[in-house]
Structure 1
C-alpha cells in the first residue's frame, strides 16, 4: 500500500507544479491547450511504459478488442469519462468557472470514500473517520458559502468515481487502460488543434510554446500516470482521502502566484488541511508500528536461534 501512497503523493505534487506551469502556455486557449496536452502526453506515457515494462498492457487490451469487439464500447466510454475531466480542468478557470470546478474536487474524495464503503465494504479507521468529518465540515461550508451546486461541480464529483469503479470492473485499471483513453481521443485532439484552430502557426510565432508543450506532456504523463497507478494499488477509501492533498497543494500554488485566501474561505480550507494532517499522522503512526513489530519479530527470531544453539 505504501507504493500506492507514494504514487498518490507524487501525482498531487506534480499537479501542483502543473498548475503553476500553465501561464507558460499562453496564448493558447483551453481547447488548444487540451489538444496539445493529449498529443504531447501520449509519447511520454509510452516511453514511461516502455521503461517500466508495461507496454504489454497495450497489446493485451488490443487482443481483448479482437476477441470481443463490443469491449471497444467500454474503452470509448472510459476515454470520454477521463478526457472530459482533463478538458474541464483547463476550461473552467479560463472561462470563469474555476470555482465551480474546484468545488467538484473538494467533493470528489468524499464521493470516493462513499463508493469504497458502500460498494467495496471498506472500513474507516478512527483517524480516517476524523479526517472525513473535517472534510465534510470544510466542503459543507464551501457549499453554504457559494449557495448552489453547478453542473461542473456535479460532473467532477461523480464522473471520476464512476471512471475508477468501471476501470476495476472491466480490468483496465492499469497504465495500458489509460494509454487507450488518450489514444482514442486523438482524433478530437487533432481536430481541436489543427482544424478548429490553427494552433501550429501560433506555436511557430511564439517559440517558447515548443518547450512549454513538451513540459506539459512530460508533467501530464508523470502526474496522470502516477495517479492511475495509485488508484490500482490503494483501497478506494484511502485513495479518495489522499485526493485532498491535491487541492491543498493547488491552494499553496495559487498563493505563490499571488492569490490570497479570503476571510470567508478559511472555514473551507482549514478543516480540509486538518484532514490531510490527520492522514499524515495516521501514516506515520502506522509506519512506526510496523517498524516496532518488525523489531519485535527480529528479536524473537534471535531468541529462538540462541535457544537452538544452547540445545
Structure 2
C-alpha cells in the first residue's frame, strides 16, 4: 500500500509541475504545445507499457477494430474527449484560467458520484448527499453571479465524466485505450505543430526547446504511469481520496502563477471545497473501519489457532 501512496503522490505532483512547466514553452501557443505533448508522450507511453507488460492491450483493441469497424467510431469519440481535456489542461495556466480548470477537477468526483447514482442506480450515502448539496450551492452561486458557470469548469467536470463513462462502457479503460486515443489524434496534433508561425521555427531558433518538449513527454508519461500503477496497488477508496491532491496542487500552482480568487468567487469555491472535504472524511472513516475490522479478524484468527493448538 505504501508503494501505491507514493505513486499517487508522484502522479499528482507531476501534474502540478506540468502547470508550471508550460511557462518554459516560450514562443509556443497552447495548440502547438498540445501537439508537441501528444507527439512526445507517445514513445514514452509505449516504453512504459512495454515495461509494465501492457502492450497486449494495443493488439486487443486493434483486433476489435478489425472485427467491428463501427467500434472505431467510438474510439474516435474517446480520443476527442480526452484530447480536449489534455489541451485544456495546458491552455488554462497559459491563459490565466488555471483556477477555473482546477475547480472542474474538484467537481469531477462529485459529477461521477451523481453519474453512478443516476446511470447505475448506486445509492448515495448521507455524506455524499451533503457533498452534492454543497456543490450545488457553490455552482448555483456561480451561475447567479455570472449567469453561467465557467465553461472551463463545466468542460472538465462533465467532459471528463463522459470520457470515463465511455471508456468503461466500451472496455478501453486501460493504458492501451489511452495509447489509441493519442494515435488517433496524432494527425491533428501534427497540424497544430505546424500552425501559426510554425513551432519548428521556434525549435530552430531555440535549440534547448527540444529538450523542454522531450521533458513534456517524459512528465506526461510519468504522471500517467504513476496514476495507473497507483490504481493497481491501492484500495479504491484510498485511491479516490489521494486523487484530490491533484486539484489542490493545480489551484495552488494557479495562485503561484499570479491568478487571484476574488471576494465574490470565494462563495463558489468554499462550498465546493467543503463538499470535497466531506468526501475525504467519509473515505477516511471507511478506511478506519476497514482497518479496525481487519485487526479484529486477525485477532480472532489468532485466538482460534491458539485454541486448536491447545486442543480446545
TM-score (norm 2): 0.84
2:113 aligned with 1:134: no
Contact 1:173 1:231 in 2 (8 A): no
Take 2:50 and 2:237, find their aligned partners in 1: how far apart are those partners? Answer: 31
2:253 aligned with 1:253: yes
Q: How many residues align?
A: 311
- CA-CA distance at 1:292 after TM superposition: 1.7
- CA-CA distance at 1:91 after TM superposition: 3.6
Counterpart mapping for 1:268-307 below 5 A: 268-307=268-307
Counterpart mapping for 1:23-42 below 5 A: 23-42=23-42
Take 2:73 and 2:220, find their aligned partners in 1: how far apart are those partners? Answer: 25
Deviates more, 1:287-296 or 1:124-133: 124-133
Q: Name the residue aligned to 1:85.
A: 85
Q: Name the residue aligned to 2:267.
A: 267
Deviates more, 1:240-249 or 1:63-72: 240-249
Unmatched tracts of structure 2, length 5 or more = none
Contact 1:34 1:87 in 2 (8 A): yes
Residue 119 of structure 1 aligns to a residue in which SS? helix
Take 1:77 and 1:7, find their aligned partners in 2: how far apart are those partners? Answer: 29
Q: Name the residue aligned to 1:118.
A: 118
- CA-CA distance at 1:156 after TM superposition: 3.5
Q: Name the residue aligned to 1:175.
A: 175
Cα distance change on mapping 1:143 and 1:109 into 2, 3 Å? farther
Contact 1:109 1:241 in 2 (8 A): no
Aligned-pair RMSD on alpha carbons? 3.4
Cα distance change on mapping 1:234 and 1:187 into 2, 3 Å? farther
Contact 1:164 1:231 in 2 (8 A): no
- CA-CA distance at 1:144 after TM superposition: 2.5
Contact 2:98 2:254 in 1 (8 A): no
- CA-CA distance at 1:196 after TM superposition: 5.7
Take 2:140 and 2:245, find their aligned partners in 1: how far apart are those partners? Answer: 18
Unmatched tracts of structure 1, length 5 or more = none
CA offsets per residue over residues 101-133 of structure 1, 9 Å max, x none? Answer: 566545544332221111122222333333333
Cα distance change on mapping 1:263 and 1:151 into 2, 3 Å? closer
Counterpart mapping for 1:42-81 below 5 A: 42-81=42-81
CA offsets per residue over residues 169-228 of structure 1, 9 Å max, x none? Answer: 111111100100001111111122136652122113223322321221122223345556
Take 2:65 and 2:103, find their aligned partners in 1: how far apart are those partners? Answer: 37
Cα distance change on mapping 1:305 and 1:136 into 2, 3 Å? same
TM-score (norm 1): 0.84
Contact 1:16 1:246 in 2 (8 A): yes
Cα distance change on mapping 1:230 and 1:272 into 2, 3 Å? farther
